[in-house]
Homo-oligomer: A and B are copies of this chain.
């Protein structure tokens, strides 16, 4: 259907649309794709010709319905493959992304549907991101940063934003891991620091820590 490059652009634009207010900027796409802005201009023109994006010179790019559907198809493949790599092949949490980046481009609807079935229709990928269904519907909730929760809220740790060894060791030392239930016992308005409860134990964490933990509520 679409080339690997086109699929990667669509996915990048999809991800950027979630945070951009209006259209996605050429520079933003270039940043995400690790290419030059001039390459992006070329590609978004091609995507516009194929009715996959709305592109207004100097103004920005947005996905059309057709483009969004295509992007969600790639996102679905990516996340299902990530689950497979982690659950079935026992890859580590941080090893799956690069391989899924390639596998997401395999052309076969049947393949991904059978894989989905084999994995028993997972709702989330290993990073806590929801998996769209066959029709591109995302029924599951998007993950949130722990820092966004209020006092009294609780949820489950589904992923980390920062992956440096320092940070992962910080979590390890406190037995905070993917799947842990976390409750916000208190939150300081002044600096955003929190007191949280994890498996009975209480920890004080800074805003910086809370901004790097993804939660499902």
Q: Is the CB of B106 within 8 A of A99?
A: yes
Q: How many copies does the complex hold?
A: 2
- Residue total for A at the interface (Cβ-Cβ under 8 A): 18
A157 smallest CB distance to B (angstroms): 26
Nearest-CB residue, chain B, relative to A107: B102
Q: Is A108 an interface residue (CB 8 A)?
A: yes
Q: What residues of B have a CB within 8 angstroms of the CB of A98 in the complex?
A: 108
A112 smallest CB distance to B (angstroms): 10
Q: What residues of B have a CB within 8 angstroms of the CB of A91 in the complex?
A: 110, 114
A111-123 interface code vs B (CB 8 A; 1 in, 0 out): 1001100100000
Q: Is the CB of A106 within 8 A of B114?
A: no
Bound together, the chains give a CA A153 to CA B180 distance in angstroms of: 62
Q: Is A94 an interface residue (CB 8 A)?
A: no
Q: Is A88 an interface residue (CB 8 A)?
A: yes
Q: Is the CB of A89 within 8 A of B103?
A: no
Nearest-CB residue, chain B, relative to A88: B118
A116 smallest CB distance to B (angstroms): 10
Q: Is A90 an interface residue (CB 8 A)?
A: yes
Q: Measuring CB to CB, which residues of chain A are less than 8 angstroms from any residue of chain B?
A: 85, 88-91, 95, 98-99, 102-103, 106-108, 110-111, 114-115, 118
8 contacts between A and B (CB under 8 A): A85-B111, A88-B118, A89-B114, A89-B115, A89-B118, A99-B108, A99-B111, A102-B106
